Structure 1
Amino acid sequence: MKLSRRQFLSRAALASGISLAPNTLLAKTRKPLTIPPLIDVGRGRPVRLDFRAAQTQFDQGKLADVWGVNGHYLAPTVRVKSGDFVKLTYTNSLPQKMSVNIQGLLAPTEMIGSIHRQFDPNSSWSPILSVNQPACTAWYCADTMLNSAYQVYRGIAGLWLIEDSESRKAQLPNKYGVNDIPLIIQDQLTNSSGVQVLDNQAPQFLGKRLFVNGQESPYFEVPRGWVRLRIVNASLSRRYDLRLDNDKPLYVIATGIGYFAEPIESQSVSLAPSERVELLIDLNEGDTISLISGQKRGFFDKIEQFFENNDELIDNVIVEFRPQGLPSALHSNVTLPPFNKDDFNLKISKERKFTLRPFDRLINQQRFDPKRIDFTAQKGSVERWYLTTNESIGFSLQGAKFIIETENRQKRPIQQLAWRDTVWLEKDQELTLLVRFEHSATDALPFTFGVTDLMLKDKGCMGQFSVS
């Protein structure tokens, strides 16, 4: 392809500045993906999660002080079976007050916590959780009133996996860290010393560098066959457009709360902040393949983004997969847990409307007030919520679950129905949700709802509700 004079001069300028680019961008090899440690919870087995300072290297040879759990940057994966109970002990060894949320675990606030259930530095909280829900991929993170963005950004984020008898019988990849891979995605901004940078006064945060499980655009060697990805968007503001760089399809099998009737084949999958998704990719044949966000880029595109003053990622590769071994001639099909469409025959008891103005930090013309309960829902009820927004934004709620009934008044087909707790709202789009409330929350320890952008949430674009 013949370059124009402008393109030629631009590429020449980029080439002359390549020496200024970080080594991670220019390196021919990537670092291996780190898999978070797994805490497998037996019935009644105590689990200790100590939130404290740690260290990591965002840039080779430059140690950065960060936060994490049990001495590691980020948090271990907790895996539990439905029907069990968990004796948890949270210990706060950090210099700030904090609250914790397990988003996707459906239980009363006395068990999972609330923004009003803060524990001071050098103190502990020991709830006993009763886990009674279908299999899902939840995540736990800092949920501190007006300070969650900073604490999540420093590293207080991890996955919480719930299994049940049906999910264990389903024909799905289930070897943790081998073909069942957890991915905690965050964008970062670092200074010349390799230290995280965050402007708490900015309306949003969009970092230039992409990290997964604390590694920048790493690689992972996987056995040939189906590979299962459990992904959480732990970024503060950034939404991701997931796809494969060879244009092969992704197969969506679950949201953060529930499974679909069958795998949904898709070229791309949107992921809002705080949203989780389970994907399958077929790596039985073919060479190296990368999971990326956005469109595939060439070398000069990456270099150009390093010098551009915009919100685009320098490298949009999330993780590069390197299949190992020979293809299997008996490559089997996957099966999902049983799907009961009768679960979605819901009787509506009440309707509510929510109008979001995220950058004004308003929901229904009101900004967050920790002393105000915005509404009270009836336990066991189902409500229809009408959502609109003047800016594209993620939306979620605690302690309840919903399905998307209509999108711009178009009904969702049964194949696309699954329980959720997070959804992306496009500007001027109208979504109708059917929300089921199954767990209690008092006025003293309410659930929250609102935007998933943690920067805007901390500034007041959220509300509280009780369930009685």
Structure 2
Amino acid sequence: MNRRGFLKTTSAGIILAGGTVSWAQSGTRPLPKIQMTDLIDGIDGRIALSLSNTTHDFGNGAASQAFGINNSYLGPVIRVKQGQTLPFDITNGIGETSTLHWHGLHIPGDVDGGPHQEIAPNATWSPDVPIVQHASMNWFHSHMHGNTAQQTYKGLAGVMLIEDDASLSADLPKTYGVDDFTLVLQDKTFDSNGKMSYVLTGEVFEDGFEGDTLIVNGAIAPVSQPVPTGLVRLRILNACNARFLGLSMASGPITVIASDGGFLPSPVEADSILMSPGERYEVLVDMAAFGANALEVNLNGGNGGFLANLFGGDQTLTALSLISNGTKGAADTMPNRLANLSSPDPSQATVTRSFQLNMDGNADLAALALAWGNVCGEGVMGINGQPMKMDRIDEQVRKGDTEIWRISVDDMLHPFHIHGCSFRILTQNGAPPPNYAQGWKDMVHVEEGWSEVLVKFDYQANADAPYMYHCHILEHEDCGMMGQFTVT
């Protein structure tokens, strides 16, 4: 455990022991089903997404000021098929400049929705987004330079499910809201009036925003859902700003079938999985084995250590209770094979690049960073000694080349994300990744030693619309821990 982890664990443990903060939630609500826009059978005209100022009740009776995308909070689940091109009209009605980034999509830089594709207030951005990749769970969220964290926290985030011929024909649960559920996990803080709160402090800039209340699909956890007897599919997104989540099942192992970029070769059983902000995993739950089960979430990621356990800071919460409704499920046999996926071959790489994520910069650099649009209080963060600068290209990649990217940090645990691609993890924190993270990914954890990924970029990103690479603790991204690169 590093210095920041030690300080956070001990202080959280003491606060919890003193009784001034409660991680537990009371009462159980029905699982909200996020509205689905299902485009599998075809697209009729342009697809309207409206970013709006709204109010939203998270289940405590208070109307919180929020952002929504065609909803009072969050965006729809958009279900599409490989080979389609999605003609979006995205209208910005939130009263401030924003963007909408397609996290996980393999698309050219000019439709990626990064900080260079700003949408002014009351303006409409109309990208035609090609869907070329295999079945996978992706998402979209604000990527407004210097304001990503607050806009995403307030609700500018949604899910995109890509299907292909193989996933549609697979013997897997696929009836949305019956045996196939999308779960958006977040953490929030509420003020004394029960309204969602987001306050930037020096600690928040340093560690990222971490709330004390677990939210599932916009409702305070725990939530519950009746399901058929058989296999139930949970497609899970960690949409927290900064919090790593430890996921497990109340009964039996957690069975993972897919990661960020698609299916694993076969199901992987684990006692628990660690999800960073921005990561996605798909899980199968066998309801024939247990009449009831529950998805449990550890808000410390399960890595709080001895002191967190001693002071009660490592508590696990029930996110979702599943209860059999007695009906027979459509799928009842755990699959043996899911995808053909060979082991990554590092010898294919012709270029190796190294990146160090920097937590602390000097006062002169902080002044420059502020002038460059980074929002970080009195400090600054960066990569390879430089905070983000919108008109500086940090790396130039040749289209079609296979590369090794090596990432290290000078303090604490970070999630690292690369735009425009999926990659394979060679090492994570100096060791092989866990079995459930050995498929296609666009997120890797970085803390101890080097994390290395094998990556190839197949789509163009020019200097006027480059790709980003960054820490996915959103306050760190806003603070300058981000760079940009072209692919030509």
TM class by shorter-chain length?
0.7 to 0.9
- Indicate conservation of the 8 Å contact 1:341/1:414, yes or no: no
Residue 242 in structure 1 maps to residue 240 in structure 2: no
What is aligned with 2:419?
398
- Residue from 264, 275, 278 that aligns with 2:282: 278
Say if 1:195 and 1:257 are closer, same or farther in 2 by CA, change over 3 A. Answer: same
Say if 1:428 and 1:328 are closer, same or farther in 2 by CA, change over 3 A. Answer: closer
- Indicate conservation of the 8 Å contact 2:135/2:162, yes or no: yes
- Indicate conservation of the 8 Å contact 2:153/2:241, yes or no: yes
Residues in 2 aligned to 1:466 and 1:433: alpha-carbon distance in whole angstroms? 18
What is aligned with 2:183?
183
Deviation of the 1:286 alpha carbon = 2.1
Residue 258 in structure 1 maps to residue 256 in structure 2: no
- Indicate conservation of the 8 Å contact 2:429/2:445, yes or no: no
- Residue from 30, 35, 38 that aligns with 2:36: 38
Structure 2: unaligned runs, 5 residues or longer: 1-15, 301-307, 362-380
> 1:351-362 alignment to 2 at 5 Å?
351-358=352-359, 360=361, 361-362=381-382
- Indicate conservation of the 8 Å contact 2:137/2:159, yes or no: yes
Deviation of the 1:44 alpha carbon = 4.0
Say if 1:13 and 1:102 are closer, same or farther in 2 by CA, change over 3 A. Answer: closer
Q: Structure 1, residues 28-83: CA drift from partner, whole Å, max 9, x if none?
A: xx110101111011444321110102222135322222110113311100011001
What is aligned with 1:288?
292
> 1:21-32 alignment to 2 at 5 Å?
25-27=25-27, 30-32=28-30
C-alpha RMSD of matched pairs (Å): 2.9
Greater Cα shift, 54-63 or 163-172: 54-63
What is aligned with 2:400?
380
Residue 319 in structure 1 maps to residue 320 in structure 2: yes
- Indicate conservation of the 8 Å contact 1:402/1:419, yes or no: yes
**Residue 194 of structure 2: SS of its match in structure 1?**
coil
Residues in 1 aligned to 2:330 and 2:105: alpha-carbon distance in whole angstroms? 39
Deviation of the 1:114 alpha carbon = 2.3
Structure 1: unaligned runs, 5 residues or longer: 1-10, 297-304
**Amino acid of the structure 2 residue aligned with 1:370:** M
What is aligned with 1:462?
482
Deviation of the 1:369 alpha carbon = 1.2
**Amino acid of the structure 1 residue aligned with 2:421:** A
**Residue 72 of structure 1: SS of its match in structure 2?**
coil
**Amino acid of the structure 1 residue aligned with 2:60:** Q
**Amino acid of the structure 2 residue aligned with 1:262:** S
Deviation of the 1:348 alpha carbon = 0.9
**Residue 62 of structure 1: SS of its match in structure 2?**
coil
Residue 101 in structure 1 maps to residue 101 in structure 2: yes
Say if 1:60 and 1:142 are closer, same or farther in 2 by CA, change over 3 A. Answer: same
Deviation of the 1:199 alpha carbon = 1.8
Residue 431 in structure 1 maps to residue 447 in structure 2: no
**Amino acid of the structure 2 residue aligned with 1:177:** G
**Residue 149 of structure 2: SS of its match in structure 1?**
helix
**Amino acid of the structure 1 residue aligned with 2:58:** F
Residues in 1 aligned to 2:416 and 2:22: alpha-carbon distance in whole angstroms? 36
What is aligned with 1:88?
88
Greater Cα shift, 312-321 or 138-147: 312-321
TM-score, structure 1 normalization: 0.87
- Indicate conservation of the 8 Å contact 1:209/1:313, yes or no: no
Residue 221 in structure 1 maps to residue 226 in structure 2: yes
Identity of aligned residues (%): 29
Deviation of the 1:337 alpha carbon = 3.9
Greater Cα shift, 37-46 or 343-352: 343-352
**Residue 30 of structure 2: SS of its match in structure 1?**
coil
**Residue 190 of structure 2: SS of its match in structure 1?**
coil
- Residue from 238, 248, 251 that aligns with 1:233: 238
